[in-house]
Amino acid sequence: MESNSMQKTIGVVGAGVMGIDVATSFAAFGHKVILMDSDSEVRDSAFDRMKKNIRGYKMLSPLCKDYDYSAIAENITIVDSIESLKDADWIVENITEDLALKKSFYKEIGKIAKEDVKYAVNTSCISITELGQYVPKPENMIGMHFMNPVPLKECVEGVRGYHTSEDTEIAAQELLKSIKKYIVIVNDSPGFVANRLSHIFMNEAAYLVMENVAEPKKIDAIFKAGYGHKSGPLETADLIGLDTVVNSLNILYESYQDDKFKCCPLLKKMVAAGLLGKKSGQGFYKY
């Protein structure tokens, strides 16, 4: 794809489902990406997974028609240590929805990152304001909730923490514009807008399966045909990862103490059985 005259060095933390796609999206438009993951198996498989994803995305959407795997891979360096991110202009963090893990990361990165680095928290539930206290400049942190699969989605949910500066909001807008995405900024609140809505759909759909009201294909078919959505709630849950859905529901329930966010027992059982969705080969569907 075309080179980027405003090229940045982007530190992408986590090479899982989201991290791979985030790295691909930035690298496709000429940004230099440092992709960091501490798991050797995840690192070793990263480029193979990326290549497979790109092949599929090119067939699915005109947004990715010019993606070239070789060119994208040249813009990505895979590393195993946090110290490798010290010169990044942006840190885009994709750690699993675990508050303790994210806190630990920001305490460490805050000690070594550049003074003017910007932090983009790719979270769907966790407070940006709370995480901001663990970096030297909380005004440089913003939520950047990418939708899955990242290359196919133009919209990014931006989250303004209590201290997030206008300069950081503008910088985030410009960064995403450089990869042909746009940001919709909302205020910091657990689950923000996207997950407070989507996780109720996914959770209730799981209850429908558990109660034998309908099988997954029928639930998703009604949702897609009736509301015009591209994927149903159970297909979406499988894509995100059922473990991630359960973690997010737990955070929402703990935050609001509202039973509407109480995780469906079937979801917990599936996660315990290792049925995590697409990434494990089986969830509500087989892959």
With bands split at pLDDT 50, 70 and 90, how would you rate the model's confidence at 148? confident
The candidate with the shortest Cα–Cα distance to 260, out of 200, 201, 209, is 200
Domain annotation for the chain: domains and CATH numbers: 9-187 (3.40.50.720), 196-280 (1.10.1040.10)
**C-alpha span between 229 and 280 (Å, rounded):** 25
Nearest Cα to Cα of residue 88 among 26, 19, 9, 174: 9
Q: Of all helices (H) and strands (E), which one includes residue 133?
A: none
Strands 118-121 and 32-36 come out as unpaired
Q: How confident is the model at residue 124 (pLDDT cuts 50, 70, 90)?
A: confident
Are 16 and 94 a contacting pair, CB within 8 Å?
yes
pLDDT at 1: 60
Q: Return the pLDDT at 127.
A: 93
For residue 232, what are the contacts with CB-CB under 8 A and spacing of at least 6? 205, 216, 219, 220, 221, 222, 223, 224
Over 60: is that where the pLDDT of 3 sits?
A: no
Average of per-residue pLDDT across 34-59: 96
Cα 22 to Cα 103: distance, rounded to the nearest angstrom: 21
pLDDT band at 137 (very low <50, low <70, confident <90, very high): very high
Here the tokens at position 16 are 């899982």
Predicted confidence (pLDDT) per residue in 154-194, tens digit:
999 999 999 999 999 999 999 999 999 999 999 999 899 99
Residue position matching structure tokens 């895979």: 78
